[in-house]
Structure 1
């Protein structure tokens, strides 16, 4: 039996705003964008990881009741969700490129633990760590 993670969901305030951020600023590609009434299934993929999707979901029906959706939206707005990790070949170059596109960084690139990392947020407040691959640091 073969198993694997196909999609990981990320709660966002506004799917159109999130879609523009992940596609225009991070370079992801749209995988699925379908609607069923008020519900929208929206996923994006990193161009170098075609078997993995990041779901951009708004808390609410049909998955959550109104009280749960409100609580989740409050957590997203506070940036309380666990951070995602984006691996890059060159953290300094990726930082410069993303910063020029208006990505909100919470931490500039720092060399530590044998690698380089930086922190940023999406428009909904979701935290990201951007980490440079170790082999690139070791070769430098």
Structure 2
């Protein structure tokens, strides 16, 4: 039986830049930053396992994954292209005060695609990470 979600993957164009964005701009905690061996990838080079998460949600980790992780070169390039042009939504982040969080994140340099607005489900703003992934920032009703 599945009991909970523990990890979610977000493909990023540059893991070091993404680490800075998620920790310094969004305020997430660094959870893991290790290099896995070739036995996991078969490439002989291994890969970087980089995870972050919101400070008040220690049971959830977002994997900031290189687009090549687990993919053929052709699929890796297709994923990179989709991420870079902003075609992939990464999910919804909850906040108690959308307007306040919008102001705080804007001051830290986060790019918003939509300012906070009333929706049937609450107040929502939409932002992009430094790779191009977009996220909803939502204050529930």
Per the TM superposition, whether the score is higher than 0.5 is yes
Residue deviations 1:4-27 (CA, integer Å, cap 9, x gap): 211000000000111111000111
- Secondary structure, counterpart of 1:123 in structure 2: coil
Specify the alignment match of 2:117 in structure 1.
110
- Secondary structure, counterpart of 1:110 in structure 2: strand
Q: Does the CA contact (< 8 Å) of 2:14 and 2:131 recur in 1?
A: yes
- Secondary structure, counterpart of 1:23 in structure 2: helix
Specify the alignment match of 2:4 in structure 1.
4
Specify the alignment match of 1:138 in structure 2.
none
- Return the alpha-carbon distance in structure 2 between the equivalents of residues 116 and 106 of structure 1: 14
2:49 corresponds to 1:77: no
- Return the alpha-carbon distance in structure 1 between the equivalents of residues 87 and 9 of structure 2: 15
- Secondary structure, counterpart of 1:51 in structure 2: coil
Specify the alignment match of 2:56 in structure 1.
48
* TM-score, normalisation: structure 2: 0.89
- Secondary structure, counterpart of 2:10 in structure 1: strand
* TM-score, normalisation: structure 1: 0.90
Point out 4+ residue stretches in structure 1 off by more than 6 angstroms. none
Q: Which runs of 5+ in 1 are unaligned?
A: 135-140
Aligned-pair distance for 1:112? 2.3
Specify the alignment match of 2:93 in structure 1.
86
The alignment yields a C-alpha RMSD, in angstroms, of 1.3
Aligned-pair distance for 1:80? 1.1
Q: Does the CA contact (< 8 Å) of 2:83 and 2:133 recur in 1?
A: yes
Size of the aligned set, in residue pairs, is 133
Q: Which runs of 5+ in 2 are unaligned?
A: 37-44
Q: Does the CA contact (< 8 Å) of 2:49 and 2:65 recur in 1?
A: yes
Specify the alignment match of 1:35 in structure 2.
35
Q: Does the CA contact (< 8 Å) of 2:121 and 2:140 recur in 1?
A: no
- Return the alpha-carbon distance in structure 2 between the equivalents of residues 50 and 83 of structure 1: 19
